[in-house]
Amino acid sequence: MNIFKPNILVITPVLHISGICKALEAIGNVTYMDDPDLSDVLDVIGDYDAVYTNPNKSKVFIGRDVIDAGKKLKVICTASTGTNHIDKLYASEKKIPILSLTEERQVIDRISSTAELAFALTMAAIRQIMLGHNAVIEGEWDYTRYIGRQMNCLTVGVIGYGRLGSLYAGYCNAFGSKVLVYDPYKRVERDDITKVDNLDNLLMLSDIVSLHVHVTDETIEMIDSSKINLMKDDVVLINTSRGDIINEYHLVEFLRKNKNAKVATDVLADEIRNRQNSPLLKYARESSQVIITPHIGGMTKEAQEIAYGHAVSRLSMFFANYIARDL
């Protein structure tokens, strides 16, 4: 009797991650496409039982076109907590399960890399590290243009107090900042961190505002002009969650009017399908007010080994159960 071996299409770079290829190839027949375009995936997806992905580098939104072309597709596996690079509703309609890390608490609780990046972006912004570095490379040696701020003199507003928000809040607290938290769904069980019930108050009081929320109907563009214009004119806004949380058009308008305000972000609105048209990316090309990193929050050696490895384990279990049902 022939044992079914699934064909797995990997559309995210994994060759550099220890043990991942070996684990994938133990499941089935694997094809690696490090950085394909949508057309590349559409050309071949019909031959595959599974697609293994991650949103951080991908240009491919797994939507109706991909799912419809995947005539044999049985499962979508993503090595991420976020799933806004997948049309979840359409996948559900087609009865194609999505394996993600969203609810894998024992796994993701071991990963602190995105919160650490949020803090690094905070420090880079308030100490003007990138501008100072670039000036030195160009031959300048003058501190007067790069006078920064001190964390223990600043109020930090944290929006979202889940795993990453609570870690980030702890880092800022350890540096002596006054930390305010807004999250209607979480309790703050620390005497040295203050929970506020009104988001507007947090925005008005904070020198630094950091976003740590999931993309939902409630949070898409939650930071629009009505919220942005409450912020201080020299605010530092940090975003390592998702770009769609912010209305970038409104944010750029605010930055143009408030030249001492800064944004440091690891994400852009609609970054999978349309990031080159991001208003914030375009503004960053003309202004030193913006720092952008290419969605590297979870991209540490340790985080990738944990997250990608567990995603492969879930995929292995899925096909083990699939084969068992057919025997």
Sheet holding 98-99, edge to edge: 29-32, 7-10, 50-53, 75-78, 98-99
Active-site residue (options: 85, 271, 275, 310): 271
Kindly report the number of other CB atoms within 10 A of residue 294's CB atom.
12
Task: List the one residue out of 239, 198, 235 whose CA is nearest residue 221.
Answer: 239
Active-site residue (options: 85, 212, 250, 295): 295
Active-site residue (options: 242, 250, 275, 310): 242
Helix/strand/coil (H/E/C) assignment for every residue in the chain:
CCCCCCEEEECCCCCCCCCHHHHHHCCCEEEECCCCCHHHHHHHHHHCCEEEECCCCCCCCECHHHHHHCCCCCEEEECCCCCCCECHHHHHHCCCCEECCCCCHHHHCCCCHHHHHHHHHHHHHHCCHHHHHHHHHCCCCCHHHHCCCCHHHCEEEEECCCHHHHHHHHHHHHCCCEEEEECCCCCCCCCCCEECCCHHHHHHHCCEEEECCCCCCCCCCCECHHHHCCCCCCCEEEECCCHHHECHHHHHHHHHHCCCCEEEECCCCCHHHHHHHCHHHHHHCCCCCEEECCCCCCCCHHHHHHHHHHHHHHHHHHHHHHHHHHC
- Has 271 been annotated as catalytic? yes
- Has 242 been annotated as catalytic? yes
Instruction: Give the active site residues.
Output: 242, 271, 295
